Chain A
């Protein structure tokens, strides 16, 4: 599995007005890595993720997704910001429904897979609840379980924890890393949260806004398995966070400067 992005660009046309979501993006995502796309809101990072997911089309350049098994089309899993679960299905059926429609899952014991992943995210007791009966954090656990259960080649996550409180977010970071390390999936994670990116990622792509372009790609060389309480005491962690903060602040200032220019 390998994703290569070459001179990729997307422009929206709305009421004769053009808005450039992102342009001239060039980068590769490697098999099995945890790849974060970090950027301020409006930098086109969600749009980029949706393009990789096949939900939107780019308007220029090339996106090439090389599947693991070249005889099959690459399969993609996605976790959305919130409300990605079907409210009319129980937790169990939310996971099972996607498996039933997955051509790669034919012949497998789906119930066993469902149970395994519900257990993995610690929701065995809630398997037959409906999503609205669960807290926001529990719902995102289900979304994560659902995306991993499908055994996709690539997992895409669009700020999945953005609406959760700090405590819950920390717990889910730990859980996500644990499952990711166990299942060895290529994971592309979009966020605007610097600490989240540093804590989770192998590499962080920093985007600049208006229009979205690749500012830089940074290797996060922190040891795994990572634990937040230990990690945040490491100077290396602090340095990475500071470096990214400065990059993004320079971005903000450039933006302010631009906005102050007379048009």
Chain B
């Protein structure tokens, strides 16, 4: 039954929505606070000021895209360097352990102080959030590359760049992908939180604005969009993972 994962991809959320729909229609839930999903979708797709919604979504996507890209690229790079160079690792690891547990949204004011209240501060906060998750997972991945591959590379005098690109990175890729998946979800969390204050567009801005003006349907529309984006991102990453690591196709 679980073979048909695409069936469940739609069925699982659909059944919750169906339960919600009937609960609202039967009067079990207050439609002022819990409007029926059909009404929310109707708002989302047809009656919302289409320009506004799209502006908010694209604003958030823009911040996520650049922030995630910068954070992941630098996280992978530093993770590989720390994994292969003991000195760098010993010097940098305490900083990572110190900074990683600080909630990233707590340093948003500091970031805005440095990078201003514009786009850059939101991109930077997303980048920082992604960076640590990808860094820590990449480091773990590099550590997990079996010693024998280091031996083979040493005996056959594999050049450094080939060693990193074709031995270390593929060997670490399962852990790196774990980091990338955690980071994309976290990016959504951070960008929405960052947009709650000090933004003039974005999904977080839309939700906050709608709450303040009691536009409950618009608020839910924002939440639905976040969920849909999260789903789309994780499907994309799963697809990429299968594509880029074909030797692991029997794992799952």
Q: Report A's interface with B, CB cutoff 8 A.
A: 53-55, 75-78, 80, 83-84, 86-89, 97-98, 100-103, 130-132, 150, 156
Chain B 157-168, CB within 8 Å of chain A: the 1/0 string? 111001000110
A88 touches B170 (CB 8 A): yes
Shortest distance from the beta carbon of B150 to any chain A beta carbon, whole Å: 9
CB proximity to A under 8 Å, residues B121-172: 146, 148-149, 151-152, 154-159, 162, 166-167, 170-171
Q: Across the two chains, which residue of chain B brings its CB closest to A93?
A: B166
Q: Using Cβ atoms and an 8 Å threshold, which residues of chain B touch A150? A: 156
Q: Using Cβ atoms and an 8 Å threshold, which residues of chain B touch A100? A: 162
Q: DSSP class of A's interface residues: helix, strand, loop or mixed?
A: loop
Q: Across the two chains, which residue of chain B brings its CB closest to A53?
A: B155
Q: Using Cβ atoms and an 8 Å threshold, which residues of chain B touch A87? A: 247
- In the bound complex, CA of A130 to CA of B248 (Å): 10
Q: Across the two chains, which residue of chain B brings its CB closest to A73?
A: B157
A98 touches B158 (CB 8 A): yes
A78 touches B155 (CB 8 A): yes
- In the bound complex, CA of A174 to CA of B112 (Å): 71
B247 touches A88 (CB 8 A): yes
Q: A102-B157, A130-B246 are in contact. Are A55 and B170 (CB under 8 A)?
A: no
Q: Across the two chains, which residue of chain B brings its CB closest to A75?
A: B157
Q: Across the two chains, which residue of chain A brings its CB closest to B244?
A: A88
Q: Using Cβ atoms and an 8 Å threshold, which residues of chain A touch B148? A: 80, 83-84
Q: B58 on the interface (CB 8 Å rule)?
A: no
Q: B50 on the interface (CB 8 Å rule)?
A: no
Q: A55-B151, A55-B154, A86-B149 are in contact. Are A97 and B166 (CB under 8 A)?
A: yes
Q: Using Cβ atoms and an 8 Å threshold, which residues of chain A touch B156? A: 77-78, 98, 101-102, 150
Chain B 239-250, CB within 8 Å of chain A: the 1/0 string? 000000111001
Q: Using Cβ atoms and an 8 Å threshold, which residues of chain B touch A132? A: 247, 250
- In the bound complex, CA of A54 to CA of B150 (Å): 13
- In the bound complex, CA of A86 to CA of B165 (Å): 13
Q: Using Cβ atoms and an 8 Å threshold, which residues of chain A touch B154? A: 54-55
- In the bound complex, CA of A80 to CA of B173 (Å): 24
B155 touches A77 (CB 8 A): yes
Q: Using Cβ atoms and an 8 Å threshold, which residues of chain A touch B159? A: 101
Q: Across the two chains, which residue of chain B brings its CB closest to A88?
A: B170
Shortest distance from the beta carbon of B208 to any chain A beta carbon, whole Å: 45
Q: Across the two chains, which residue of chain A brings its CB closest to B246?
A: A130
Partner of B157, one of A55, A86, A89, A101: A101
- In the bound complex, CA of A31 to CA of B146 (Å): 33
B151 touches A88 (CB 8 A): no
Q: Using Cβ atoms and an 8 Å threshold, which residues of chain A touch B157? A: 75, 101-103
Question: What 6 A-B pairs are tightest by C-beta distance, nearest first?
Answer: A88-B170, A130-B247, A78-B155, A98-B156, A101-B158, A88-B247
